[in-house]
Amino acid sequence: MIPYPPQALPEQLCNIERLVDALKMRNLDAVVVSSPYNVYYLSGFKGVAHKADEPRPYAVILSRHQPDHPILVVADYYVGSLVAQPTWIKDIRAFRAVMLPLDLPGRDDDLERFLPSDINNAPWAGNLRTHYGKNIAQSCREALTDLGVGAGRIAFDDLRFGHQLGMDDIEVADGYDPMMYARCVKTTAEIELLKRATSVNELAICQTIKTWAPGMMWQEFNHEYHKAVIDLGGFFRDPGAMVWGHPCSGDSAVTLQSRLDDFEMKPGVHILFDCHGTLDLYCWDGGKTWVVDGEAVGDAKQYASATSAAATAVMEAMRPGIKISELQKLGRAVYRKSGAAGADDVLIFFHGLGLSHMELEQSKADGAPNHDWQLEANMVVPLHILVPGDEHHRIWIEEVIRVTPDGGEPFFSWGLDPMITL
pLDDT exceeding 90 applies to what percent of the chain?
92
202 and 157 part of one domain:
no
The reported pLDDT for the residue numbered 85 is: 86
11 versus 24: the higher-pLDDT residue is 24
Mean of the pLDDT values across residues 57-86?
96
The reported pLDDT for the residue numbered 84 is: 86
The reported pLDDT for the residue numbered 126 is: 86
224 and 359 part of one domain:
yes
- Split into its structural domains, the chain has a count of 2
198 and 157 part of one domain:
no
Whole-angstrom Cα distance, residue 308 to residue 315?
11
Angle formed by the axes of helices 324-338 and 299-317, nearest 10° = 150
pLDDT exceeding 70 applies to what percent of the chain?
100
The reported pLDDT for the residue numbered 52 is: 82
The reported pLDDT for the residue numbered 252 is: 97
106 and 227 part of one domain:
no
* Sequence-separated (6 or more) residues with CB below 8 Å from residue 120: none
136 and 200 part of one domain:
no
* pLDDT tens, residue by residue, 330-378: 999 999 999 988 999 999 999 999 999 999 999 999 999 999 999 999 9
Residue 421 confidence (pLDDT) above 80: no
Domain contains 421: no
192 and 123 part of one domain:
no
As a whole number, the mean pLDDT across the chain is 96
204 and 178 part of one domain:
no
CATH number at 126 reads 3.40.350.10
The reported pLDDT for the residue numbered 51 is: 85
179 and 211 part of one domain:
no
Whole-angstrom Cα distance, residue 409 to residue 214?
37
Domain contains 233: yes
The reported pLDDT for the residue numbered 277 is: 98
The reported pLDDT for the residue numbered 403 is: 99
Distances (CA, A) of 66 to 35, 43, 69, 146, 170: 22, 16, 6, 11, 17
Domain contains 314: yes
Last residue of some domain: 138, 163, 183? Answer: 183
The reported pLDDT for the residue numbered 382 is: 98
Residue 138 confidence (pLDDT) above 80: yes
Last residue of some domain: 149, 183, 217? Answer: 183
Domain contains 6: no
Domain contains 366: yes
CB-CB contact of 393 with 420 (8 Å): no
Whole-angstrom Cα distance, residue 178 to residue 19?
7
377 and 273 part of one domain:
yes
218 and 256 part of one domain:
yes
Least confident residue range of 150-154, 215-219, 257-261, 268-272? 257-261
CATH number at 211 reads 3.90.230.10
164 and 245 part of one domain:
no
Query: Domain span at residue 255?
Result: 188-410
3-state secondary structure 13-42: CCCHHHHHHHHHHCCCCEEEECCHHHHHHH
Last residue of some domain: 183, 215, 248? Answer: 183
Domain contains 7: no
Q: How confident is the model at residue 49 (pLDDT cuts 50, 70, 90)?
A: confident
CB-CB contact of 280 with 351 (8 Å): no
Task: Please choose, from the candidates 416, 417, 414, the residue with its C-alpha nearest in 3D space to the C-alpha of residue 205.
Answer: 414
84 and 207 part of one domain:
no
* pLDDT tens, residue by residue, 292-327: 999 999 999 999 999 999 999 999 999 999 999 999
Whole-angstrom Cα distance, residue 301 to residue 133?
65
* pLDDT tens, residue by residue, 205-233: 999 999 999 999 999 999 999 999 999 99
Residue 422 confidence (pLDDT) above 80: no
Domain contains 276: yes
Domain contains 417: no
The reported pLDDT for the residue numbered 300 is: 96
Whole-angstrom Cα distance, residue 411 to residue 375?
17
